[in-house]
Structure 1
Amino acid sequence: MLVPSLPEPTSLQPVASAVRPRRRLWLGLALGLAAAAAAAGGYWWQHAEPGLPAGIAFGNGRVEADEIDIAAKFGGRIAALLADEGDGVRAGQVVARMDTQDLETSLHKAEAQMLGASRMLDEASASVEQQKAQVKLAEQQLARAIYLADKGYATTEILDQRHQQMDAANAAFAAANARVGEAEQTLAAANHDVDLYHINIADNSLVAPRAGRIQYRLANVGEVIGAGGKVLTMLDTGYVYMDVFLPTAEAGRAMMGSDARVVLDARPDAPIPAKVVFVSDQAQFTPKAVETKAERDKLMFRVRVRVDADYLRAHSAEVGSGLPGLAYVRLDPGTEWPISLAGRTDEQSR
């Protein structure tokens, strides 16, 4: 009787080794799908419309502040930079200086001309006094000649000479007065030149027009720039706002001065008090920054909410320009803010 031979045990090893990679592959795919689902859920949770009362609307946007270019009034060489990117500056603080050596030389020249004009005025005034004395002498001589002529002790020729002397003295006196007026005008012009050079030298000290923060440095020390050349760009941190787009039904109820809140993605637990300061009177398509095409296809109205100035003074470092977030607008003054948008924000806005 023949007994069938059993297969060699070593023949199972290739099968087992082939199954293990497939299991690892399926396990990796399952983990990848789970991670993708978690990410999609997180994205949906972050961008889903929160549950809000009917009297509150919201839109997404970015915190912005007005940019101010600090530029040179005159062309020249940058002598010093006194502020750099990221520095906070006060209104009126000098942030850069231009080279003013040529203006200072012209100022010295104008001051010398002013001194010369002042001396000319003194001389002209002295000449007036001198001619005034000549007029008085001519008047006395003419009066004496008339008296003597009436008595027959002076000839007509002498009387005529005294009249001519009187006329000449009056003409010289008038000319002296004219020279005084001319000297006064020359001195005034020299004074204006000196004042102008002082103003131009002062204008070459570039100052921050508002309190804020330096955003960009556009030129360096030693560079020569033209008139109007930009040296620094700053952000006006006293005017911080967020523009959002609301549909017609909601934008029509948003009034100037309406209460609002700004919630930054970086600080979702710290609502920032704000007010509506602008509502566009023209509908427009929402910009491409809005995520979905369905939203972009709707006609919307731009609404600007401005962050409360008192809040900015106390928390300027927390409200950075460019940060994304949401702006909530209270359309109905009788609607209470949800707890997530109230709290310490209401206390600060009082």
Structure 2
Amino acid sequence: MKYLPLAVVLLVLASCSRNENQFDASGNFEADEVIVSSELAGKITSFTVEEGQVLKKAQQVGTIDAANLVLQKEQVQESIRALGEKTADVNPQIALLQNQLAVQQSQLGNLQHEQKRTGNLVKQDAATGKQLDDINAAIDVLQKQIAVTRQQINVQKSSIGTQNRSVLSEAAPLQKRVEQIDDQIGRALLTSPINGTVITKYAEEGEITSPGKALYKLADLSSITLRAYLSGSQLSEVKLGQQVKVLVDKGKDAYKEFTGTITWISDKAEFTPKTIQTKDERANLVYAMKVKVANDGYLKIGMYGEIQFQPITNNR
């Protein structure tokens, strides 16, 4: 009987130890993974990605051969420059018509002077009326010719201007084509879309790739998500933004403790996954939840974790 108190103490301590390790939900850690694919077809001329490498957003990690695109760009640029040679120079033709107009105007001036002189002679009976009529008719014809010449100048300017505008209008679509090729050339540079750690590498330098072909996969592991499952009776114990205690194995009988924040709770029930334990193992339907945990490098994708909803204590 004298050993009874000691046995009771040991039983209580064992019970406390078991209660300390009890959990309310459990699941596996996951991360938002990004698969980076090629956007062009061609040979991978450089590729410095290695599994486990930490990349920064927009960091260049490789290139795809874009020599063909550069040649296409130069061809389009030459086509733009060639448009200037297709345009017509209106100045020589206009100059010719203007010289013709100047001659006609000079002739008109002479006829008008002769008209005035002949009119005075007719008044003095020194010239006949027919002479004056002939001069008036010649002036009328010359004025009509001058009008035609002026009209020809305007038509020539308008016609050649329209022709040149039609040729030069091809420049805008060609310039847009240059911009499209520049965009494609930019896609030949392989860069990291996010800050993250390379999880899997799918390609090697020197290989031929194609649009949509996966090159590597990475994920931001600075914070990691524990996907756990709740029974319906536990829904009243949790809410979005709530902090919980997250426990992961640390050795055979120890746990490493983290602080997590509930970021998502499913509004639909699902059957209990076979690999997941819940507080009430008899529950057939559970609700998924996500707990975001700051990662100090210890947590890995796929690692098993447990959650306790009770107040959080200091890390052990």
- With normalisation by structure 2, the TM-score equals 0.73
Residue aligning to 2:64: 98
1:185 aligns with 2:169: yes
Flag the 1:277–1:75 CA change in 2: closer, same or farther, 3 A. Answer: same
Partner of 1:290: 276
Q: Residues 326, 104 of structure 1: CA spacing in aligned structure 2 closer, same or farther, 3 A cutoff?
A: same
Q: Say whether 1:221 aligns with 2:201.
A: no
Is the aligned partner of 1:321 residue 2:287?
no
Q: How does 1:260-271 map to 2 (within 5 A)?
A: 260-266=244-250, 270-271=256-257
Q: Distance in 2 between matches of 1:271 and 1:142?
A: 105
- Alpha-carbon separation, structure 1, partners of 2:108 and 2:271: 101
1:109 to 75, 79, 101: 75
Residue 202 of structure 1: CA displacement? 1.0
Structure 2 match to 1:347: none
Structure 1 residues 297 and 257: alpha-carbon distance in aligned structure 2, compared to 1, 3 A threshold: closer
Partner of 1:318: helix, strand, or coil? coil
Q: 2:180 aligns with which of 196, 201, 216?
A: 196
Q: 1:243 to 1:181 in 2, by over 3 A?
A: same
SS of residue matched to 1:155: helix
Q: Specify the code of the residue in structure 2 equivalent to 1:303.
A: M
Query: Which letter maps to 1:84?
Result: E
Q: Are 2:26 and 2:305, in contact at CA under 8 Å, matched by a contact in 1? A: yes
What code does the residue aligned with 1:298 have?
A: N
Q: Which runs of 4+ in 1 moved over 6 A?
A: 129-151
Which position in structure 1 is the counterpart of 2:128? none
Distance (Å, rounded) in 2 between the aligned partners of 1:75 and 1:112: 25
Taking the aligned partners of 2:292 and 2:101, their CA distance within structure 1 comes to: 81
Distance 1:179 1:329, change over 3 A: farther
| Gaps in structure 2 of 5+ consecutive residues | 1-13, 117-135
Q: Which amino acid aligns with 1:98?
A: I
Partner Cα separation in structure 2 for residue 143 and residue 250 of structure 1: 105
Structure with bigger gyration radius: 2
What are the superposed Cα offsets for residues 69-94 of structure 1, whole Å, 9 maximum, x if unpaired?
11111222222211111111011112
Give the 3-state SS of the residue equivalent to 1:73 in structure 2: coil
Given the alignment, which residue of 191, 201, 208 partners 2:192?
Answer: 208
Aligned-residue offset at 1:240: 2.1
- Contact 1:305 1:327 (8 Å CA) reproduced: no
The answer to whether 1:234 aligns with 2:242 is no
- Letter matched to residue 196 of structure 1: Q
User: Contact between 1:90 and 1:210, CA under 8 Å: does it hold in 2?
Assistant: yes
Greater RCO (Cα-Cα under 8 Å, separation 6 or more): 2
2:175 is paired with a residue whose SS is: helix
Q: Where is the helix percentage greater, Structure 1 or Structure 2?
A: 1
Structure 1 position 104, deviation (Å)? 1.7
- Shift in Å at residue 218 of structure 1? 1.0
Contact 1:142–1:166 (8 Å) recurs in 2: no
Q: Please list the CA deviations of residues 194-251 of structure 1 after superposition, one character each: whole Å capped at 9, or x if unmatched.
A: 2211110110212111100111111222222332111111113355211110111222
Q: Deviations over 1:280-324 (max 9, x none)?
A: 1111112111258x73752110011122xxx45xx3x33322222
Matched ranges for 1:145-184 at <5 A: 152=136, 154-184=138-168
1:303 counterpart (262, 276, 289): 289
Query: Which secondary structure state, in structure 1, belongs to the residue aligned with residue 170 of structure 2?
Result: helix
Residues in 1 aligned to 2:309 and 2:103: alpha-carbon distance in whole angstroms? 96
Query: Bigger CA drift: 58-67 or 85-94?
Result: 58-67
Given that residues 104 and 142 in structure 2 are in contact (C-alpha distance below 8 angstroms), is that contact kept between their aligned partners in structure 1?
Answer: no
Q: SS in structure 2 opposite 1:237?
A: coil
Shift in alpha-carbon separation, 1:190–1:238, aligned structure 2, 3 A = farther
TM-aligned CA deviation for residue 100 of structure 1 = 1.2
Specify the alignment match of 2:129 in structure 1. none
CA contact (8 A) 1:135 1:173 kept: no
**Among residues 30, 41, 45, which one is paired with 1:64 in the alignment?**
30
Change in CA separation of 1:161 and 1:264 when aligned onto 2, cut-off 3 Å:
farther
1:273 aligns with 2:259: yes
- Residues 321 and 113 of structure 1, relative CA distance in 2, 3 Å threshold: same
* RMSD after superposition: 3.7
